[in-house]
């Protein structure tokens, strides 16, 4: 079979990725530098997007539809991109997925793996197509769109594939079991088989439609489940390209393309709950707001993997270089206008100031240094626009513009800056608000977008206590800390880790808390309200299938 040869074709990459996964060193199967790819790839990707605008998306192979829908709006152009996608009923999507599941489930693990890695190789040829699709649906800058939705997403998908292979092969397929009973041995032939759970549902988000969706998608596919991908109605095109390429490879290998289907809807007529509550749906991967995430987690008889909202903290105690520290925090706050789930929101600073090699810098000076660092980024015509990107939705823009009414003291008001390439780009610089530690009602909840709070605390102990308690109560995906004191550093580490939150210490230069590396960093721990799953660890794939053991007594 061609699919077996596909495994042989990609077995070296699978081996490399597996080694990286279990040793946790740097590994990138897909280079993140656009210059690594063909010289004309960027121009072709831009043309592909322009050609697709105001046209029906015809690449899917999951059947004909009489109705095409779509309502995506470019945050850079602030006009609809005009792409329409085939619409299918929930019943037809489920029926097709159930039919395709039987064929896909029964394939040998290596066969599935070969096919799936081949789909990533096909996507590699479309990284620029996906980049422009991401840029004009999410508002990410071109570079972030290219890296996150292309190479980084495929690395995360490959990570899920090799994690799945390892778990599916953890136990032997069969063994002779012998128990001595004195005068004779009791001999049984035993066999074990991983049984796939059924139909999975991937619910995408509007800001990272590919990067957040492909880990769950490929984790379900490698474990033998069929998948229905339900993207956010405002960010469909990037993941539609992914689904289309998967379907093409499936068809080439004699596999029903409905193993992976795209399910689209509109804001006014959503189908997410209809799909999620359907008894045939056994697996759900979800990224989005905590409220809807709790609903997903409450659904009975389903294996659910969620990434909800979190309130991420920065803790300042001491630093070797205050300027570099503030530049690092400022960039993390400004990157994609705070629309990343890993972006910091609350910056905890003791009112006694921050320790440096030249002495303690008072609180006010530290707060001013942060606002100055942000202004240095956003007011730089070369650095500002590509760092900020654009605001994905009007809701986020309005939230940012009204942040001054939340309470506290506005240290830096959000404004709009000029983007020379896109004069109509929806943009907003970070809003920085100073609050007292007692103002929990102001800063305790997530304020999605470019909104951050400088929290003035009594001392470092209060900084740590509030940050860790908020992580336990409200969830946190990341924590950035600056500390040169070994004893205090340990206190931060213990408190945040006990709140199931990882800590990044003393980042500067090119290291930013926002970025999580495939094959090395677990994204979300699954231990606090920011999400119940972590990709990619063993549990992320193990809950998608069941081990069944059989016994036979032979003559």
Q: What is the DSSP string of 270-304?
A: --HHHHHT-TTEEEEEEES-HHHHHHHHH-TT-EE
Contact assessment for residue 522 and residue 174, using Cβ atoms and an 8 Å cutoff: no
**Phi, psi of 126, deg, nearest 5:** -120, 20
Distance CA 369, CA 373 (A): 6
pLDDT over 60 at 4, yes or no = no
What would the pLDDT profile of 432-487 be if each residue is shown by its tens digit? 999 999 999 999 999 999 999 999 999 999 999 999 999 999 999 999 999 999 99
Distance CA 204, CA 214 (A): 9
Distance CA 264, CA 371 (A): 42
**Exposed, middle or buried by CB within 10 Å (0-12, 13-18, 19+), for 52?**
buried
Model confidence at 148, pLDDT cuts 50, 70, 90, reads very high
Q: ∠197-202-203 over CA atoms, to 5°? A: 145
> Residue 379 is encoded by which pair of tokens?
């007011």
How many residues belong to the chain? 555
* Number of neighbouring beta carbons within 10 Å of residue 546: 12
What would the pLDDT profile of 309-335 be if each residue is shown by its tens digit? 889 999 999 999 999 999 999 999 999
Chain mean position to CA 200: 17
Distance CA 545, CA 541 (A): 8
List, as one string, the DSSP characters of 148-183: IIIIIHHHHHHHHHHHHHHHHTSS-SEEEEEEE-SS
Q: What is the mean pLDDT of residues 482-493?
A: 98
Distance CA 265, CA 70 (A): 8
Q: Which domains does the chain show, CATH number per domain?
A: 2-171+197-308+533-545 (3.40.605.10), 313-505 (3.40.309.10)
**Exposed, middle or buried by CB within 10 Å (0-12, 13-18, 19+), for 376?**
middle
Task: Please report the pLDDT score of residue 1 as a whole number.
Answer: 42
Task: Please report the pLDDT score of residue 354 as a whole number.
Answer: 97
Q: What is the average pLDDT value for the chain, to the nearest integer?
A: 96
Q: What is the mean pLDDT of residues 88-98?
A: 98
pLDDT over 90 at 3, yes or no = no
DSSP letter for 37, please.
S
What would the pLDDT profile of 502-528 be if each residue is shown by its tens digit? 999 999 999 999 999 999 999 999 999
- Give the percent of the chain with pLDDT over 70: 99
- 100-125 CB burial, b ≥16 within 10 A, e <16: bbeebbebebbbbbbbbbbbbbebbe
> Residue 277 is encoded by which pair of tokens?
């509550």
Contact assessment for residue 112 and residue 222, using Cβ atoms and an 8 Å cutoff: yes
Task: Please report the pLDDT score of residue 49 as a whole number.
Answer: 97
What would the pLDDT profile of 349-408 be if each residue is shown by its tens digit? 999 999 999 999 999 999 999 999 999 999 999 999 999 999 999 999 999 999 999 999
Q: What is the mean pLDDT of residues 43-50?
A: 97
Distance CA 162, CA 16 (A): 10
**Exposed, middle or buried by CB within 10 Å (0-12, 13-18, 19+), for 386?**
middle
Contact assessment for residue 219 and residue 541, using Cβ atoms and an 8 Å cutoff: yes
Sign of torsion over alpha carbons 253, 254, 255, 256 = positive
**Phi, psi of 331, deg, nearest 5:** -65, -40
Distance CA 10, CA 4 (A): 10
Contact assessment for residue 199 and residue 209, using Cβ atoms and an 8 Å cutoff: no
pLDDT over 50 at 421, yes or no = yes
Model confidence at 2, pLDDT cuts 50, 70, 90, reads very low
Chain mean position to CA 436: 32
> Residue 411 is encoded by which pair of tokens?
């240290």
Give Cα separations from 494 to 460, 487, 489, 491 (angstroms): 14, 11, 9, 5
Task: Please report the pLDDT score of residue 292 as a whole number.
Answer: 95
> Residue 279 is encoded by which pair of tokens?
């008894």
The closest alpha carbon to 457, from 311, 316, 325, 310, belongs to 316
> Residue 310 is encoded by which pair of tokens?
């979190």
Model confidence at 555, pLDDT cuts 50, 70, 90, reads confident
């Amino acid at each position: 079979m061609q699919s077996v040869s596909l495994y042989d074709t990609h077995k070296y990459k699978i081996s490399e990725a597996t080694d990286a996964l279990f040793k946790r060193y740097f590994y990138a199967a897909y280079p993140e530098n656009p210059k690594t790819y063909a010289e004309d790839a960027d121009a072709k990707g831009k043309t592909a997007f322009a050609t697709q605008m105001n046209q029906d998306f015809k690449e899917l192979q999951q059947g004909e539809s009489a109705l095409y829908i779509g309502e995506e709006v470019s945050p850079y152009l602030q006009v609809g991109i005009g792409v329409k996608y085939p619409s299918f009923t929930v019943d037809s999507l489920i029926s097709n997925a159930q039919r395709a599941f039987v064929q896909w489930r029964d394939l040998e693990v290596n066969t599935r793996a070969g096919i799936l890695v081949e789909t990533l190789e096909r996507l590699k040829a479309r990284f620029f197509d996906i980049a422009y699709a991401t840029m004009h649906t999410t508002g990410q800058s071109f570079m972030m769109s290219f890296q996150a939705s292309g190479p980084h997403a495929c690395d995360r998908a490959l990570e899920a594939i090799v994690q799945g292979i390892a778990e599916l092969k953890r136990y032997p397929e069969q063994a002779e079991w012998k128990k001595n009973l004195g005068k004779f041995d009791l001999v049984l032939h035993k066999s074990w088989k991983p049984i796939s759970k059924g139909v999975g549902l991937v619910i995408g988000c509007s800001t990272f439609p590919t990067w957040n969706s492909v880990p769950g998608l490929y984790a379900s596919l490698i474990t033998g489940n069929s998948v229905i991908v339900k993207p956010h109605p405002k960010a469909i095109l990037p993941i539609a390209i992914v689904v289309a390429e998967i379907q093409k490879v499936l068809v080439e290998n004699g596999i029903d393309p409905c193993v992976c289907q795209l399910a689209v809807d509109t804001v006014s007529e959503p189908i997410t709950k209809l799909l999620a509550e359907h008894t045939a749906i056994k697996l759900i991967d979800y990224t989005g707001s905590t409220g809807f995430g709790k609903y997903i987690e409450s659904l009975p008889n389903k294996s659910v993997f969620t990434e909800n909202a979190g309130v991420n903290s920065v803790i300042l105690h001491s630093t070797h270089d205050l300027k570099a520290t503030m530049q690092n925090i400022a960039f993390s706050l400004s990157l994609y206008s705070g629309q990343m789930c890993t972006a910091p929101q609350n910056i905890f600073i003791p009112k006694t100031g921050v320790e440096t090699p030249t002495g303690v810098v008072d609180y006010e000076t530290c707060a001013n240094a942060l606002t100055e660092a942000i202004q240095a980024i956003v007011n730089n015509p070369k650095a500002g626009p590509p760092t900020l990107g654009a605001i994905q939705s009007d809701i986020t823009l309005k939230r940012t513009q009204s942040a001054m009414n939340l309470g506290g003291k506005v240290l830096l008001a959000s404004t709009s800056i000029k983007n020379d390439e896109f004069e109509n780009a929806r943009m907003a610089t970070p809003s920085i608000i100073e609050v007292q530690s007692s103002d929990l009602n102001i800063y305790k909840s997530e304020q999605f977008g470019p909104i951050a709070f400088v929290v003035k605390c009594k001392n470092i102990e209060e900084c740590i206590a509030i940050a860790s308690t908020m992580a336990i109560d409200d969830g946190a995906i990341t924590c950035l800390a600056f500390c040169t004191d070994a004893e205090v550093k340990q206190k931060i580490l213990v408190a945040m880790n006990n709140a199931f939150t990882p800590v990044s210490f003393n980042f500067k230069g090119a290291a930013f808390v926002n970025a999580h590396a495939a094959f090395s960093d677990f994204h979300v721990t699954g231990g606090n309200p920011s999400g119940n799953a972590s990709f990619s660890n063993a549990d992320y794939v193990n809950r998608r299938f069941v081990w069944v053991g059989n016994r036979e007594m032979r003559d």
